[in-house]
Amino acid sequence: MAQTRLLIPFVLVVALFAQLSAASYLEITAPVAATAYDGAIVDFGAVGPGQSMEISASEPSGDPAAGNPGVVAVWDQLNFVPGSIPAGWTFENGKTYERNFHAFLIVSPQAADGDYTFKMKPVDEYEGSGNLVLTGKVRVSRNVFNMSAAPSKATVAVGTPALYTLTLENRAMATDTYNVTVSGFPGAVKYSKKVTVVRQSKANAQFEIVSNEQATYPITFTAVSLSSSRVNATATASITSKASLFEDVQSAGYGLLLFSNSQQAIVGFLAFAANAYDALMAK
């Protein structure tokens, strides 16, 4: 009798373990990595207003395929639960039978900063995978983008281009494209460029700015998300154009490579010396 009483809890533990080991799961691969069981809450991080967050997952469900011993059942589609999507947001379910699912959640461009939730449900049509519904959580924030410009100032000869490098940083969990424009000096309106930045990464964009007047002008670079104008950033610099042989040499350190390879070492040294002298005189 004592042995029987000891055996019962052991059998229950084994049965529970077997049930858990066969429980359905969804292996999420992007934008975060997570193994989600029924009822799980998955934090997908921060996104900006209007941005489209791509959610990727693999197809194995963890359950044995019905009528096919030794084979693991697979999900056939990754879907959102329509009634769980925040008002004003849209979505695109994963394609049926695709391998490595890709579903998209598009945030409303007018979404206020804050935390939001939604639900997802993978579907298995034929192999008998168990029921699974997970809750996704995202944080909407306009503070998911930043931009800087280098150099902060450049001195060149009139009509000679000054090269500026912008670094765009996308801190969101969604890839986005930004329209970059320039303002602050005559002719600035002609400069613009679209730059795509992958989620949680940086990208560089270069602008060759030409001033045809002997003057100093401020430059403002403005980047605006194509998803929502509420996601934006600015960076400032300046350009000084002078008309002299000294500035012609000094400008060689900024703009296009105007010299042959054999001349670059000499011109580079002269440009360095000219800029050093200019900095010393500025003090």
The pLDDT tens digits for 107-130 are 999 999 999 999 999 999 888 888
The pLDDT score that the predictor gives to residue 14 is 36
Confidence of residue 98 (pLDDT cuts 50, 70, 90): confident
The mean pLDDT of 143-172, rounded to a whole number, is 96
3-class SS of residue 186: coil
Using the predicted structure, report yes or no on whether residue 279 has a pLDDT greater than 70: no
The whole-chain average pLDDT of the chain stands at 86
Using the predicted structure, report yes or no on whether residue 17 has a pLDDT greater than 70: no
Contact by Cβ (8 Å): 58, 78? no
The pLDDT score that the predictor gives to residue 19 is 40
Using the predicted structure, report yes or no on whether residue 91 has a pLDDT greater than 80: yes
Contact by Cβ (8 Å): 76, 62? no
The mean pLDDT of 214-234, rounded to a whole number, is 97
Closest to 239 measured CA to CA, from 210, 268, 267: 210
Using the predicted structure, report yes or no on whether residue 243 has a pLDDT greater than 50: yes
Using the predicted structure, report yes or no on whether residue 21 has a pLDDT greater than 80: no
The first and second tokens of residue 269, run together, are 């040294």
For residue 279, what is the enclosing H or E element? helix 261-282
The first and second tokens of residue 180, run together, are 């970059």
Into which CATH architecture does domain 25-140 fall? Sandwich (2.60)
For residue 275, what is the enclosing H or E element? helix 261-282
Using the predicted structure, report yes or no on whether residue 280 has a pLDDT greater than 70: no
| CATH topology identical between 25-140 and 145-244 | yes
Using the predicted structure, report yes or no on whether residue 26 has a pLDDT greater than 60: yes
DSSP state letters, 110-168 = TPPSEEEEEEEEEE-SSS------EEEEEEE-S-SEEEEEE-SEEEEETT--EEEEEEE
- In tens, the pLDDT along 34-83 reads 999 999 999 999 999 999 999 999 999 989 888 788 889 999 999 999 99
- 74 Cβ partners below 8 Å, 6+ apart? 59, 60, 61, 65, 124, 127, 129
Choose the CATH number for 145-244 among 2.60.40.10, 3.30.565.10, 1.20.1530.20, 2.40.10.10.
Answer: 2.60.40.10
Which amino acid belongs to residue 258? L
The pLDDT score that the predictor gives to residue 269 is 61
The pLDDT score that the predictor gives to residue 1 is 47
Any idea which of 70-84, 194-208, 240-254, 263-277 has the lowest mean pLDDT? Answer: 263-277
Q: List the domain boundaries for the chain.
A: 25-140, 145-244
The first and second tokens of residue 103, run together, are 């579903």
d(CA 246, CA 253): 12
For residue 64, what is the enclosing H or E element? strand 60-64
